[in-house]
Amino acid sequence: MGFAAKMARGCTSGQALTGGTVLSPGSWLFMIMVFVGAYGMAYFIRRQWI
């Protein structure tokens, strides 16, 4: 995400917050994918704790 923020010349959280408030489809898709990715990664991290 840091590389993408540098290319876009902005912050990814700012893109999600400001883009989400104006109902930008790209911003909503980005936030959904962030949560999907975190949920998917949690499966592997939780397995290490057990």
Helix 12-21 / helix 25-49 crossing angle, nearest 10 deg: 130
| Count of domains forming the chain | 1
What local confidence, expressed as pLDDT, does residue 49 receive? 66
> What does the pLDDT look like over 34-50, one tens digit per residue?
899 999 999 888 877 66
What local confidence, expressed as pLDDT, does residue 19 receive? 81
What local confidence, expressed as pLDDT, does residue 36 receive? 94
> What does the pLDDT look like over 10-27, one tens digit per residue?
677 777 788 888 888 888
Q: What does 33-45 look like in DSSP terms, one character per residue?
A: HHHHHHHHHHHHH
Mean pLDDT of the chain: 80
Whole-model pTM: value is 0.64
Whether 19 and 27 have beta carbons less than 8 Å apart is answered as yes
